Structure 1
Amino acid sequence: MNQNAHEPRSLPVPGTDALAASEALVALVRDEIAAAGGWLPFDRYMERALYAPGLGYYSGGARKFGLRADDGSDFVTAPELSALFAATLARPIAQAMAASGTRALIEFGAGTGRLAAGLMTALAALGVEFDSYAIVELSGELRERQRETIEALAGPLAQRVRWLDALPDQFAGVALGNEVLDAMPVKLFARTQGVWHERGVATAADGSLTFADRIVGSDGMALAEYDAAALAAMDTEAAADIDYVTETHAAAAAFVRTVCTLLQRGAAFFVDYGFPRHEYYHPHRAEGTLMCHYRHYAHGDPFFHPGLQDITAHVEFTAMAEAGVDTGADLLGYTSQARFLMNAGITDALAQLDPADVAHYLPAANAVQKLLSEAEMGELFKVVAFSRGIDKTLDVFARGDRSHSL
């Protein structure tokens, strides 16, 4: 029996076809475990669970984004909550385009396409000239959904959208990743009685997948430079005498590094949930941040129907800032989502709605409250931005910038 799987029995039961796809993915992982000698690092498992062609969560056909479990979705993102998120985000993007003299946008993992449609519509309303909106998306199902959404909501502006299978070699303009970094594979490490172990995945006697730990340095296993530095940071930040489980983020840092390298001129914005290093590796976070999402339920079992649920980890933003700056890009700013959106004018945008129109105003006000509230997304979510060719900071980072905390 999988000792780490608590089998969240209250969760909805997948359909027959979905279960068959999940079982096929488990069989694929079992074969890979056997070929690797009986153990896979967790980041490899997470990569397969999310992105295995045709079977992974993001590469398969299951619906991901939505408002409720009964629509078949697993979680909701800010652009789905409120159109005011995109309308507000358009303002700092417009300033970044003007400051850098660029006319293009690129988005990574565009979800349903609502953010793209909202941004293009808002930029057009602001009188901002832009030539193209590129979307890097691996999922065929999401591409089609994005196309339908953008055509329905953005009208003729949809003709400026093009889809890419991979990152371009170079780019001038504004790059955007909303809840992308948290879906990058992470390594898991566990410190037990002062000894660090890398937590991987093995096959249990009954054929299920289970966690399996290996002492760091055993069997000739050497740490990558990034992970060695992260473990050293953990020993500094987290009390050394407690047992501790956490993640390292080499894949996300490498992605930020790549984006900032290809950015010739302009800005790159990343919006996600997480903490700076001194908070991320705090002793109170001794169980790590790994989390799974299925039908709007959050739980901690990454082996529950692999391929049918999202697997995420909070972002360690100090590492992201270091990765971007290491390329020679400037750290444009880092702040909470609440401060970012308020500086960008989301409350002014809400005030333009008619409170007497209760059917429209109340849902909009409730959504903005969720985006801004410290108890909801306002404090947990952060915005970090990098730039090239922008001489001054943007207005959105003029107040409440937390770059000093990284």
Structure 2
Amino acid sequence: MRGIVIVGAGQAGAALAAKLRSLGHTGPITMIGEEPVPPYQRPPLSKAYLLGEMELERLYLRAPSFWEEQSVTLRLGARVEAIDTAARTVTLEDGEIIAFDDLALTTGSRPRRLPAAIGGDLGRVFTVRTLADVDRMAPEFRAGARALIVGGGYIGLEAAAVAAKLGLDVTLIEAAPRILQRVAAPETSDYFRKLHTAHGVTVREGIGLDRLVGKDGNVSAAILADGTDLAADLVIVGIGIQPNAELAEAAGIALENGIRTDAFGRTSAPHVWAAGDCASFPHAGGRIRLESVGNAIDQAEIVAVNILGADTRYEAKPWFWSDQYDVKLQIAGLNTGYDRIVTRKGDGDVVSFWYYRGDTLLAIDAMNDARAYMIGKRLIEMGKSPDPAVVADASADLKPLLKA
């Protein structure tokens, strides 16, 4: 029976293992993860879990007993030191060698950190990625504490929202001219700037960090690029993530913004596959790497199908979400290359921004508007582009657009 080894015990690895079993694979499956806990959800870490609204057990993607029942061997707290693609083996840090017939790399990604030279290694300077990260920072979230958030992307904004809700004095800095500049239109940036300001967060855009200052080994202040000296009891860094591709690179596997795969999830090495945050794949005439739960699950399941002999292309249907205060942002599609924003305004804080390139609908950002999101998502997946005038008319029913 073919033995399958999965390196990475996150969302993609868990989805791949579960799919293999649901498809009837009866051979050995070994999933290796560096963290000492079973596969769990990451999105709630910086929101419900940090707020104390979600228990650890609810984070788990499956009950721990599931893996035993499915005869999936979990090797947790274990690090893969090397891959030998010719011998078809992986070597663990402790020297143990595990053979495979097929290997799936679902190694995920990790946060970019501030350089040690500017204080990035000081105590109480945190990133938000793992359960251990959040468990370390949670005790510092005390009412009145001064929190500096470095980076105005979704991770930074979510951390700012939690800190503000818990009564911290929060300042967020973004080196770019506006928050969310890399991922969203100015309209979405304006919406979230207003939201955070209303909750007492000081948002400073177009201002970078010069260095952090420490006292007794812990951060005590930040010097901003304009010379501002800002007291800080803790710092949360949200300046992007990078794919964990070093293991693949050392094994001679081709990289291109992560581990390069074809449309079926195959890497450049025979019998080695990749999925999730670490993998780049063909999309719309180019290549892309998606950092999302939806992509991790969908791509991993396609890889599982193909490991078992299918020849199914992965056709990405990008979707994302972010929860901040009482606002749920839902995103569908990719807005790259947009040249027009159409605004659909609902009651109160309900609004959606529709991204067009010419007459083609590319993406949608919907704030507290699940109906607009679902319809926009389906339209994008169907390749349909509604008349912008209809979209902008808040009184118009969007559902008939799906049948047009």
Q: Output the TM-score relative to the length of structure 1.
A: 0.25
Counting strand residues as a fraction of each chain, which structure ranks higher?
2
Counting helix residues as a fraction of each chain, which structure ranks higher?
1
Structure of higher CA gyration radius: 2
Q: Greater relative contact order: 1 or 2 (C-alpha under 8 angstroms, separation 6 or more)? A: 1
Q: Output the TM-score relative to the length of structure 2.
A: 0.25
